Amino acid sequence: MNNTVFDHLHSEGLLSDESFKKIKQRQSSPLFSVHWELKTALYTGVLLLSTGLGILVYKNIDSIGHQVVLAFIAVLCAGCLGWCNKNKKPFSFAKVESPNSLFDYVLLLGVLSFLSLIGYLQVQYGVFGDKYGLATFLPMVVLFFFAYYFDHIGVLTLAITNLAIWMGVTVTPKDLLEHANFNNEKFIYTYLLLGCLLLVAGWATNYYGIKKHFAFSYHHYGVHVTFIALLSGYFFYDYGLSFIWLSCLAVLTWFIFKDAYRKRSFYFLLLCVLYNYIAFSGLIIRSVIKVAESEGFYLISLYFVSSGFGLIIFLTNLNRKLKSNDHLQ
């Protein structure tokens, strides 16, 4: 019922003053959105379904049979991807919104089923033999195609991860820091190449106007991987040669900081500041230990206390400046 109906009922005496006031208060109160809660629940449901199916197959593989499992996964994958292809909106280089709320989750289930199918074929039947590069390259190409064809950032993230696997590394910052072998030049240069490829892909996405909203994902992983690779090179090499890596880190920082400040992206500005703080702190520690070994501990402690306060003040002022510039525009 609309407002004119309630007003009419109140004027005719069919609605009490107290009830009329409560209705007005309910209509004026803001609505609470549960959009992200529902999306999170749906994404969790898809992941739990995929995990549950995997556990069920693993525990009953002897009674089910490999052919039945493969057929089920293939039908599930084909059904999900076929439904998405039928219901998707026309392709565009600009951002294409999902046709309905179910589309993203069906697509994610289909893509995960596809990856499970490829992995199952390789592990059980050795379809690709010992050509493990091919076993990761083909899914990577398919995932990049699906990401652009269906315009899905989640699938793009899976494609970037497969790119990292194909190159023999991992793109997740946590795993990168925990498991990477930074004492190996090959790993350092591989990480550096991967990071540069992702940064160039993000730049090309913006420059050519092809799915510009994908640029953040490319830059997010590219910035982390490139900075960590440069820091690894800085700490890996001797004191003199390490300055070349430090100079490259400074050049990269200048470009990223300038671009992030122009776009008023505090996230990428924060990454620039934190990674450079690590590099500068490493330089200070190396210099102090080399010059004053006996009093080095006290000088280093004093540096971290004072620089920590300075870092907080700098980031606070930077964030305030970004907000003031945004307000002026």
pLDDT at 329 (0 to 100)? 44
76-85, 236-245, 315-324: the lowest-pLDDT one? 236-245
Over residues 202-238, the pLDDT tens digits come to: 999 998 999 999 999 999 999 999 999 999 888 877 7
> If pLDDT is split at 50, 70 and 90, which confidence band does 275 have?
very high
Residue 8 has pLDDT above 60, yes or no: no
Inter-axis angle of helices 66-87 and 103-120, nearest 10:
150
The C-alpha R_g of the chain, in whole angstroms, comes to 27
Over residues 100-149, the pLDDT tens digits come to: 878 888 898 899 889 888 887 887 777 887 777 788 899 999 999 999 99
Percentage of residues in the chain having pLDDT higher than 70: 74
- Chain centroid offset of residue 71 CA: 32
Assigned token pair, 275: 């990674």
Assigned token pair, 215: 């640029």
pLDDT at 124 (0 to 100)? 76
Residue 206 CA to residue 214 CA, distance in Å, equals 9
pLDDT at 328 (0 to 100)? 42
Q: What is the mean pLDDT of the chain?
A: 81
Residue 308 CA to residue 246 CA, distance in Å, equals 21
Assigned token pair, 171: 């793109």
pLDDT at 121 (0 to 100)? 81
Closest CA to 193 of 217, 225, 232, 218: 225
Over residues 250-274, the pLDDT tens digits come to: 999 999 999 998 888 899 999 999 9
Residue 190 CA to residue 229 CA, distance in Å, equals 8
| Cβ neighbours, 10 Å, residue 5 | 10
Stated pTM of the model = 0.77
Q: Cα-flanking dihedrals φ and ψ of residue 2, to 5°?
A: -90, 180
**Measured over all CA atoms, what is the biggest interatomic distance in the chain, rounded to whole angstroms?**
92
Sign of CA dihedral 106, 111, 114, 120: negative
Residue 233 CA to residue 228 CA, distance in Å, equals 9
| Cβ neighbours, 10 Å, residue 160 | 26
Q: Do the Cβ atoms of 104 and 154 come closer than 8 Å? A: yes
